[in-house]
Structure 1
Amino acid sequence: MLTAALSVAMECANIVVTAMLPQPSYTPLPFAPEDMAGTAFPVFGALLILRRPRLAVGWLLVAGGLACAVNILAGNVARLHSSSPYAFGAPKPLWAAVGLSWALATLLLGVLLPLLYPTGRPPSPRWRALVVFACLVQGLEALRSLLVVIEAVPPSPAAKEILYWLGTAAMGLAFLSLAVRFHRADPVERRRIAWPLLAFAGLIVPWVAGGPLWWLASFTIPLIPAAIAFAILRHGLYEIDTLITRTLVGAGLVGVIGGVYVGAGAASSLLLSDLDQFGGLLAALLAGAFFHPLRRVLQRGADRLLYGSKGDPVALAGELRRRLQRTDPAEGLPAALEVLREGLSVTGVAVRFAEPPAPPGAEPSPAGAFGEWPGQAGAGELGEVVREVPLVWHGEPVGHLLIGPPGTRRLPAAHNERVIAALAPYIADAAHAVRLVGALHRSRERIIAAREEERRRLRRDLHDGLGQSLSGMAMSINAARRSLRVSPESAERLLDGLRSGMDSVTSDIRHLVYGLRPPALDELGLAGAIGEMAGPAVAVEASGDLTGLPAAAEVAAYRIVQEALTNARKHAGASAVRVSLERGGGPHGGDPAGGDPGGARLRVRVSDGGPGVPPGRRSGVGLASMRERAAELGGTCSITSPPEGGTVVEAVLPLTLDAEPCR
């Protein structure tokens, strides 16, 4: 920044010196091309250095622009000294500075800048020879100028002409390297090179023609840093787009408000000559009144010009809300991702979902199948992932937002961070909706699978057990009928066996019915059925009204307690076992403070005084079965071992108010 400020200060001083000199004959303009180079290159180079101090392009712009400023200021001061009636000739150090700074500016801006843009390295190692050649030529030019100034050698127009064309050849080769880099680059890299390549091409005619046409370079030289700025703004080359848009807006404010100030002052001088002392006050009031509205207009205009209407986070959020309102929850995520892709102007975006917790004992679902967990959803062609943004829904991670490289329309919006921050919550909501839809599909599949498995079990039991028994009984009846008249004793034995078979069939039927739902639940209620199953050695405590519970919750609680008691007796060897049942949180709840008053739940707790579950032990089928029964109803089941010893099985089962109660 100091170097850029020094260069601008030199240009300001040069304006004063130029005003004291006669108008040069080679240009109709009040400024020279070197003035434009000494102002434009250092300012933009300083902006690059602020964000990327290791970027070679920024340092080249600053150093080359400073050399141009030194060249034009030293030359004008030397000419002013020569034109003074009190001078005995121009001081030699000034003319030496003119020659050295010109050679340095030509090397930095004419050769190294196009050769190293945009990566800071030559296109290939073979181009390093051009760097050596250019340094040699400009070094000889600087030496020639110095020797002529100190009068060590006489001026040689031929040597000057040869070095000029050798330098021109080096600049042409550097321009050719940029063209070769453009030809070999991919589409994204080509867009970064195209505008600077055209800007350098605009300098060819004034440079080669020289002489009377050199003044045209006053218009083409500023196009080079402007083209680099355009490449940065439009294609995100060095990621300082926001900084430069603010610079553009600031420059527009200074120019417009300065014009308002000068215009108001001039008008007051012409129209209100008697009130000329109020002209400055009037101009200041006008400038202050229009400052904020003008800044907003310029900001919107710059953003729309450089980034398009898609770069406004507020507009994008509104468009996203409208699309989500018009689509189903399952289709909302692709619509939201498409809005984000257009807003960021990238090739593609996607959401990589976090794998949901699988039910205990269940195999994880492969990603991508219908009704199973969708591993990823996206819009456009993602390609290379340049950024990942975590998506969180009310504290729950739902996945990651994957952002691809810049697209072909425009560079990502000037406010990428604001766009992502504004749209990420909507993306997380849509992703969570997809997770819920996937969970619903998986739940339906589990219900269908469980129903079909239960039907298969019933068919097997009825066919292989009850069916075979009934077939045997039918054969026994036929045999008894045939032997009834011939051998009554044989018929009586067959009837006795038939009686035993009927008892067995009755037992099988009761077993089937018991497998569907324990009869004790209908006869004794949940607490009574558990007490009968557990026996007198187990203490059963009930809290709250346990009547009218949903049938599914009753069966799940009964089976969980049954499995927990089996484990306590079989594995823990516990002598003291306690079962507690508590209904709370809703109608008929015993402890509404213990849960959400709007969500009734049944809490089942089985504790024993055994040694507890060993650390690191894998869950068996019984423990997994308890968790599955609770998860099927949307509840939870945990197995812990308190520090004081023993094992605690605790299940919380939600009681839906619209469920069919057991009658």
Structure 2
Amino acid sequence: MTGVVEPRGRSGRAWIVRMVLAALLALLALGWLWAARAGHPSDGTSINTDSRTWRADGVVLTVAVGADTPLRAGDTVVAIDGRPLASGSLADPRPVIGDTVVYTVDRAGVRLDVPVTLTDYPFPALAERNAHTLPYILFMVLLPALVVARRPRDPAAVTLYLVAVLQFIGYASHMYGTQAIEVATGRLWVSTAAEVVNCLLWACLLHFAISFPQTWPVLRRRPWLTALAYVLPFAAYAMVVAHALPTAHGLRRTWTLLGVSVPAAEFFPLLVLAAVIVSYVLARDPAARQRMRLVSYGLVVLAGGYLLLGRLPEQIIGRPLIPWEYLTIVWLPALLLLAAAVLRHRLWDIQLILRRSLVYGLVTITLIGVYLGIAALLSEAFDTRLGFAPVLLAVMVALSFSAARTALRRAVSRLVYGEREDPYEVLRQIGQRLESAHSAETALHQLVSTLVRALRLTHAAIEVPGLALPSSSHGVAGPTATRLVLSHDGEPIGQLVLDPGPDREPFGPSDRRLLGGLARQVSTTAHGLLLAARLQRTLEGTVTVLEEERRRLRREIHDGLGPTLASASMRLELGRSLIRSDPAAAERILADLAQVHRAVVGDIRQLVDGLRPTVLDHLGLSAALRELVDRLGGGLRTHLDCSVGADPIAAAVEVAAYRIVSEALTNVVRHASAETCAIRVWRDGDLHIEVTDDGRGLAPDYRPGMGLTSIRERCLELGGKVAITAASPRGTVVRCRLPISVTAASGGELIGTYP
């Protein structure tokens, strides 16, 4: 079977085509708002589905637009052309565009008769009044279209797109809601259809919650249960109608029948929130839970804006800090978070950004809220109206001034003091320079040059005595130079010298954190270079030792075994020739050859023991150490405690441990003038050796001899640690730690001291 691979360019353009088509469909849904009422008489009013606007004897106008309209928002329309307002009260004859009808309205407790000329549906005027929603509408057109174009088979993406399209159609029942003239003529099917769509909108939100990031297991087993999400809002509406319709009268009865989505709006938000929580609990995959956190962040943004800027201020001062029609701006971050949650499948790097953005955003919103609250209180105290435009301008000026001040201060500080206020930038530059270094000399030089440039220093130096390298420095240190000790695991390895110069501000207490971080970074680098130098020296020493061992073996074989075997061969030929003629002489020659043979065997055994003690192979480490202590202890009282267990130990470690104990015990016998010596060998992941004596101890001008030097070198060759210190109250303690598993030729870390 031959597969067809779609060209990459065509695949890359496909999602763009899908996005354009999805956006066009969303725009068609917006166009329905005009097309459903175009060509029919309009009075330029709008009545939302809030129960407080529908009274038994009239309706309260939410919106009244038009250049010449005598109606006002807040008017209560009770009659049209003398007929009490009721559904279908003007159905016969039905007015047409251009007719003038008389509205009877209650305005501020006064009943008025207002003539109104009916026009075509004023969609442009209503759109202009709702211009504050244009950014939100633009996002709701483009963002869900992008999501469904990129994830066309993802149920959550499709549902999110349906939410946008249905929301546009549902605008016909609130922002572009029912008109008073439509109530009188009985033309309520547009609002009813919009309310049905709003029910589907709530159902889609619930569907999104139960299918993101993964469909609930019970719904995967029984997909038909998903239909319950779409049945539930209509079932709630049916229950409300059955309960309230028998007792409703007048326009309240009309509102009960018209408000199809009103019951669902009462409890579906809590239901959706509960579904989100259940989805988070069911999401076992860390990546899926990360995506759920984005949805949670979106809900936090929505709830924070709704409560802090709207509902709570309305309860305290009687109106929201920001008018309700402008609070749709708060929804934009929530939409972005939802889109990111659906589009992104690997979000390990975004969480930190989101947390910081949320913190900064909430701090900004809180400060703006405090400012607006103070402004509102002042306006109440001085009996002035708080205009939205001046307040918004003041907030923008304050934010711009703060940003400009911060940028200017950083620029001046960077020019004078370098990157002192941005330690992460300094460490980043150091890291980049170290990555490009090819040798120890280059690394030290680039470290110094980076510090000089980043901190505007006149002198910087890194001094590591343990390195066989010249000190890397720049300039000359002044009398007030700051010297920082470089250490690793408590071991001083050098110092970092920094001098900003006599004409610049010296390092203050606030700079100590930066200097501490620099010291740690430089210590790590210097320690790594020190280890590399030690490793190089150890490898060179190992090669030298191997070469010396080869020369010794060659010398032993050539100068000792070689002549002996050659002489024995000649004497063996002589003995064979004398077997018949002089048997007695031949017997003497063979007897001498047997003695030579025994001597050669002894020499070979001694040569092999010099490579690896055979007692280790025959007895193991514990018994070999016991035999060694008994043989070398002499008149010294010795105590051996060896607990190494039965697990295998690398051959190199066994030999090193045996030789270390041998050298340490030999030193005690020859030089310590000690009476007792305690030897402990144990393992706890590594092999530990401790040799303690009660001799005369280390001299003040102590310099290690061949034995102690050999002990240190054997430890370092295997990547171990060694410490030779004074014992209490007198004597000397030699402590060594060897890694159990080692690789060839010093594969471990070389550390000169043992804590």
Task: Compute the TM-score of the two structures, normalised by the length of structure 1.
Answer: 0.44
Question: If each structure's helix is expressed as a fraction of its own residues, which one has the higher value?
Answer: 1
Task: Compute the TM-score of the two structures, normalised by the length of structure 2.
Answer: 0.39
